[in-house]
Every structure is written in structure tokens, then in C-alpha cells.
Copies of this chain bind each other. A is one copy, B any other.
Amino acid sequence: MKSICGVEGVTAWGLKEGKFGLALIRADGEAAGVFTTNLMKAPPIRLMEERISRGTLSAVMANSGCANAYTGSRGQEDALEMAAIGAEALHLLPEEVGVASTGVIGRYLNLPLIEDQCRRVAPHLARTDEAEVLAARAIMTTDLTEKHSLVRRETFSVGGITKGSGMIAPNMGTMLAFIYTDAEVGAQKLREALKSATRRTFNRVVVDGDMSTNDIALCTATGKAGHVNPQEFSTALEECCRALAIQIAEDGEGASKLLEVTVQGAPGEEEAATVAKTVVASPLVKTAVYGADPNWGRVIAAAGRAGVEFDPDRVNLWMGDGRESVPLVTKGEIVVDLVRAKALMQGKKVTFTLDLAAGSSKATAWGCDLTEKYVEINGRYTT
């Protein structure tokens, strides 16, 4: 098992037919969620914001192919109906079923298809390798890979699946993410831990700076593993979310390389994150990474417009491939060995570490390069 089915009390199944997929995940437990901050929240997001306040969930049902976004009052009724369809198939109450949608904006849900897919998925719910893979696959849209994470601790586990490849932006990182733990955690604690983990992981991924209307991360704690150390749980949850966030960045639309930017020596963690996200989001940095061009000037110029005070003459900058790194700038002086730097940019991962020399805080952000493929994918999405 590599994700949700590694967690006690979770069963799943999924189905993908062309662009249209449906995943069902069954797990009774305390539940918490974080949601997009886009003003144009999709109806399923509005519904879940309301329902998650109950603090428990018994199942999650997610469809791909249609986001049920910008669909007005009919969209709200459709989201309610979708939860009812899931509830009927699973013999639950509608309010015990979480719903999420992803795909094209501005189209109504095909409820007969969802009902049909739900009826075919429900009987298969299982706790197997195949089950979690099918569930993760069912929620993919422009994703090329399914995304799993499983963090095992001595007494409990945290596992999650996610999807997301485009419309990936800095606030509530994007995407659907369904995370489970068998640790016994109350809804309030779960909410705090999820919020904190999201801030440091999903919200630090930038693929294209476009914030989705449908972002949602749900975490359910089945409690099967009993009481755990809260700090240990938070750390494990963050580790799980980080692994999922990095997979989203790696699978960014058109991406050929993962871009990881760590900013250290910042006056505060949020300042460090702001600078890191600005660098990760810069089209000029992204294209330089694509072209394997160690263009420290673009990194520094992006950092300079992030709105965080630092002294350009004191900064240090390194570049690497995740294993090895070379200095590009030392105390404001350019020291780059171009041949060696270029050689380090040939792989699947490029890292920049920028020391602002303006404090002692640190943060990392993830993104990907910008390639012709991104343009191709998004120039022809709805056609």
C-alpha cells in the first residue's frame, strides 16, 4: 500500500472513463478541511465548508471532468444531489458524505453519469493496492501521474492521495487532496494540524499562479490506531502533505523539471515563503530552468520584487540538483562556475537556496519549469 489504504479503517475504489472519473473513499472519523480562497468558490466547496463544521465524515465522493463551478443555484442543488447519490449507494446520510469536483468550469454535472458510476464503484470498496490506485486515478484531469503518500509511524499512519497539475497557485495550493490517518485526533486538533500543514506544503506550490475555484483538502482521522502524540501527528501529517505537494509540482502542466526554492536568512517564515514563492512563480526563472540556464540574475530580480526587505549586497545563492550544489552568488558577488552549474541543471530537479542574510527564518516552495508543452496544453483545453 502506498497511500490511503495504508491507513486502518479506510476503503476505496475508483473508475475513470475518458475524461470522466469517480472515486469513493469510505472511512468513518473526525474530519477537517481547508478550501480555496478564490471568491468564485464552486458549489461543492461551499457545501463542504458548511458540512465540515459537523466535524465528522463517513465517506468522500469525488468526480473529475466537470468542476461544477460557476453553475449558480443549479450547481448547489447538483452538489447536494451528488452527496445524496453517494449516501444512497453507501447506506449513509447525505451529510456524512463529502463531495468534491474537478474539471472544466461552467458546465453542469452529469448526474445520471455520476449515479451510474457511483453504483458501479460502490460494491468494490476495498483496502488494497489496486483500490487506492484506482481512486487516485479517478480524480486525475490533466495530471499525468497519480499522486500517493504514506507516512508510517510506530503506532499510526497518515496517507493521502491528491490531484492537480494546472491552475495551481499560492493560496490553498490547488487541487483535491484526501488524507487519512488512523490516529485518534479530535476534529479541532485535526483542523489546526491540517491548516498548519497546508500552509507549509500545498500553499507553497506554484505551477502557474492561477488559483482554482475548486481547491479542497480533506483529512479524516479514523482513530483505529488510538491515541498518539499530537506533535508527532502534526509532523507526520505535514510530511504526508509535503510529499503530495511535491508530486503536484513535479507533475505541473508541461513540466520537465521540479523546481525547489529554499529561502533562508529571512526575517520571518512568511517572508521567506513569500520570496520563495515569488521566485518559483517567475516565468523568467521557470523558462531559465527549462533551458538549463543558471540565470541567477532572474532569481535575484524576482526576489527583489517580492516585497521583503533585504540587502542585495549581502545575499548568497546556491544552485543544485538535490544532491550536489554550487554557489552562484556569495555576499552579493557573482561567483558562478557556468559549466558546472549548467551540468547540474540537466536532471529532473533543480534547487535554488537563497540566503537573504536578513534574519534566521526559512521556507521552501515548489514549482516546475515553464515549457512549450504548458502552452500547448492550455491553448487547447476546452476545445
A-to-B contact residues, CB < 8 Å: 37-40, 69-70, 72, 104-106, 166-167, 169, 171, 208-213, 281-284, 287-288, 290-291, 293, 295-298, 300-305, 309-310, 312-313, 332-334, 370-372, 374-383
On whether A283 and B105 interact (CB within 8 A), knowing A312-B39, A371-B375, A372-B372, the answer reads no
Cβ B210 vs Cβ A293 within 8 A: no
A276 to chain B, nearest CB (A): 15
Nearest 4 interchain pairs by C-beta: A291-B379, A105-B297, A40-B304, A287-B378
A295 to chain B minimum Cβ distance, whole angstroms, is: 6
Q: A38 to chain B: which residues have CB within 8 Å?
A: 301, 304-305
Query: What CA separation (Å) do A104 and B119 show in the bound complex?
Result: 60
Interface residue from B167, B210, B378 paired with A291 (Cβ < 8 Å): B378
Residue pair B70, A297 in contact (C-beta under 8 Å): yes
A39 near B375 (CB under 8 angstroms)? no
Once the chains bind, are B381 and A293 in contact (CB under 8 Å)?
yes
Q: Which residues of B contact A283 (CB under 8 A)?
A: 208-210, 283, 374, 378
A378 touching B39 in the complex, CB below 8 Å, given contacts A106-B296, A305-B211: no
CB distance from A300 to the nearest CB of B (A): 6
Q: Which of B39, B210, B293, B305 lies in contact with A284, CB distance below 8 A?
A: B210
A70 CB to closest chain B CB, in angstroms?
6
Interchain CA distance A72-B312 in the complex, whole Å = 9
Can you name the residue of chain B whose Cβ is closest to the Cβ of A294? B382
Pick the contact of A104 from B288, B297, B305 — CB < 8 Å? Answer: B297
Question: Shortest CB–CB separation between residue A310 and chain B, in angstroms?
Answer: 7
Q: In the complex the two chains form, what is the Cα distance from A295 to B70 in whole Å? A: 12
Q: What 20 new A-B contacts, CB under 8 Å, besides A39-B303, A208-B284, A287-B379?
A: A37-B305, A38-B304, A39-B304, A39-B312, A40-B303, A40-B304, A69-B301, A70-B312, A171-B305, A209-B283, A210-B301, A211-B305, A283-B378, A287-B375, A287-B377, A291-B378, A293-B381, A370-B375, A371-B375, A372-B372
